[in-house]
Every structure is written in structure tokens, then in C-alpha cells.
Amino acid sequence: MPRTILYIEDNPLNMRLVRKILVDMGYKTLEAPDGQTGLMIIINELPDLILVDVNLPDIDGLQVARLSKANPLTARIPIVALTANAMHGDRERCMDAGCDGYIAKPVAKLELRNVLNHFLAPSPALNAVAK
């Protein structure tokens, strides 16, 4: 079974970029364009990891993280925040909200891969290719 990663992102270009990286790594992807949809998918699908854009059209990504971490059913799912306009203190704000990791946009492929490998073992599909 491939691991499933939910990406909550309102920008179609970022969605497409990150989707390609995730699929190339052998992950199954779930996508949500806003925070409320993301929270619904988190509860219904229990993804293995959540990537969340901080700036979303409804509730922001930090609120998504707080709510997911407050629910015992979903609290252990790792959450990595993605934020544009990286400013001093961003990382701390993300961690205070319960995020497990933080990536500044624009998303660098190598950094994303390293973060995913940190939280998730390489997927079986990728191992098969490597052998």
C-alpha cells in the first residue's frame, strides 16, 4: 500500500509542482483547496502525512494544524507547513501551532524529499525501483 499524503493548497501551480514530486516518490496524493475541506479529508482518510499551505482562503494552515493536533484520532499524523514570504518567526509560529515541520516556499524538490523521508520511510514502490 502506498503511503498517502494530503496537500492542502489553494495555489494550482504549487499544487501541480508538489503533486509531481509526491507521485514521483511513489506516494498516493490527496488534495484540498482550503482548510475546511482539508480537515474533512484528514478525518475521513487519515493520511500518513499532511502538507499544509499557511495562507488559505478560509481558515489558515496553522488553524488546520491546531485542530488536527487537538483531535486524538488525527493528532499523531505529521503536519508540515509550507509558507510563502518566509519571515523571521515563521518557523516558531508553525511549531507553536503543532506543526512537526516547516518548508519555506518556493518549495525546493530536495528539501521536500528530505522532509518526507524524515517522517516517512521510503515507499515500497520506490524501493522496488532502487533494487
Site of interaction with Mn ion (CB under 5 A): 10, 53, 55
We find the least distance from the C-beta atom of residue 80 to Mn ion, in angstroms, to be 15
Rg (CA), the chain: 14
Tell me if 10 sits within 8 A of 56, measured CB to CB: yes
Tell me if 24 sits within 8 A of 67, measured CB to CB: no
Residue nearest to Mn ion (CB): 55
Of the pair 10, 58, the CB lying nearest Mn ion is at 10
Of the pair 29, 123, the CB lying nearest Mn ion is at 29
State which amino acid sits at residue 37: T
Of the pair 26, 31, the CB lying nearest Mn ion is at 31
111 Cβ partners below 8 Å, 6+ apart? Answer: 103
Of the pair 38, 101, the CB lying nearest Mn ion is at 38
Handedness of CA 90, 93, 95, 100 (dihedral sign): negative
We find the least distance from the C-beta atom of residue 37 to Mn ion, in angstroms, to be 13
We find the least distance from the C-beta atom of residue 92 to Mn ion, in angstroms, to be 20
We find the least distance from the C-beta atom of residue 26 to Mn ion, in angstroms, to be 26
